[in-house]
């Protein structure tokens, strides 16, 4: 695996928790200590300051419509060095590796099974979704379709996904229908740095670029994406600090290069934790096949 280079952060990210429900409290109250998709994606209905040049609406707006307008206002009135983005984090549906780990136990999985390609019956190299995982993603897609239609939840303006198969397929199952029904293009971007924390587990080794292009021809693959997996190694774990730095880098790329104010990232459990830490926020766990919504402020603090 390439060693991370010592780099200077060009953005400072801050999660703005006051707009959404308390995810930590939800996790504490959950039987498995994991957050699930919340009604209205957890948005708290509250008043926002309106621009002075606007007239009252004849019809009251839905909470998400008012929130989206407020974010647009924030971005318009903020200095050029400050950007706000609504970020949807979707954890992939239940994978083959998740089921097998639960079957044999974490210790046996970590010490033995995770280093193999499979058990002779199923393979978990670049682990695929189980049937239950597919059903989770399809149910989440219906949630999105209903939320966009009835509650005017903002659709992602940009879709990004980890290159691991379980995320590629979750992205297709969850977002293709609501995007297409709304007349928006479905063209997710595959980003290498969005993948899970790198371990010596074979489930974290990705497939080739050719395999991804063949199975997901509508997806856009970022420039510089290699044919073979150059990051995974069978004898090295990425430290938590290295993983957070990797997620910091991908957030910097998104804030610097994508003008969209609403973006979606389909990722993994520990990837979500690393993103939260990069935003200076205490991590919590998210259940498979769930979406959470965040508001993140990015302050540009340096130039390359």
What SS3 state is found at 241? helix
Spatial separation of the C-alpha atoms in residues 243 and 159, rounded to whole Å: 21
**Phi-psi group of 42: left, alpha or beta (phi > 0 → left; psi -120 to 50 → alpha; rest → beta):** left
Q: How many residues does the chain have?
A: 304
Bridge partners, 12 (sequence order): 299
- Report whether 195 contacts 268 (CB < 8 A): yes
Q: Which of 196, 238, 252, 288 is an active site residue?
A: 196
Strands, E assignment, 20-93: 34-35, 82-91
**Does the active-site annotation cover 24?**
no
> Of 235, 240, 302, which Cα lies nearest the Cα of 277?
240
Which residues, listed in sequence order, are joined to residue 297 by a DSSP beta bridge?
A: 14, 84
Q: Between 131-150 and 165-181, two packed helices, what is the crossing angle to 10 degrees?
A: 30
Q: Is 180 a catalytic residue?
A: no
Beta bridge partners of 107: none
Q: Encoding tokens for residue 55?
A: 């007239």
Q: Are strands 285-286 and 291-300 parallel, antiparallel or unpaired?
A: unpaired
From the number of C-beta atoms within 10 Å of its C-beta (0-12, 13-18, 19+), residue 191 rates as buried
Question: 131: which residues sit within 8 A by CB, 6+ positions away?
Answer: none
For 177, the 3-state DSSP assignment is helix
- Catalytic sites, residue numbers: 92, 196
């Amino acid at each position: 695996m390439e060693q991370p280079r010592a780099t200077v952060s060009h953005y400072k990210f801050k999660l703005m928790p006051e707009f959404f429900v308390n995810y930590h409290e939800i996790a504490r109250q959950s039987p498995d200590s994991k957050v699930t998709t919340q009604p209205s994606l957890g948005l708290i209905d509250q008043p926002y300051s309106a621009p002075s040049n606007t007239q009252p609406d004849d019809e009251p707006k839905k909470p998400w419509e008012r929130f989206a307008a407020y974010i647009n206002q924030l971005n318009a009135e903020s200095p050029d060095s400050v950007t706000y983005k609504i970020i949807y984090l979707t954890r992939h549906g239940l994978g083959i590796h998740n089921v097998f780990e639960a079957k044999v136990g974490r210790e046996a999985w970590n010490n033995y099974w995770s280093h193999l390609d499979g058990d002779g019956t199923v393979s978990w190299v670049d682990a695929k979704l189980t049937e239950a995982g597919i059903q989770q993603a399809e149910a989440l897609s219906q949630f999105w379709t209903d939320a966009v239609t009835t509650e005017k939840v903002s659709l992602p303006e940009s879709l990004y996904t980890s290159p691991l198969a379980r995320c590629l397929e979750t992205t297709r199952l969850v977002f293709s229908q609501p995007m297409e029904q709304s007349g928006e293009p479905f063209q997710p971007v595959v980003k290498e740095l969005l993948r899970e924390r790198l371990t010596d587990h074979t489930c974290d080794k990705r497939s080739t670029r050719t395999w991804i292009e063949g199975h997901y021809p509508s997806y856009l693959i970022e420039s510089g994406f290699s044919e073979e997996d150059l990051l995974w190694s069978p004898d090295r774990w990425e430290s938590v600090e290295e993983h957070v730095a990797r997620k910091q880098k991908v957030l910097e790329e998104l804030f610097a290069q994508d003008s969209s104010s609403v973006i979606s990232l389909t990722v993994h459990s520990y990837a979500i934790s690393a993103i939260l830490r990069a935003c200076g926020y205490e991590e919590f766990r998210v259940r498979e096949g769930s979406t959470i919504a965040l508001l993140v402020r990015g302050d540009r603090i340096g130039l390359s």
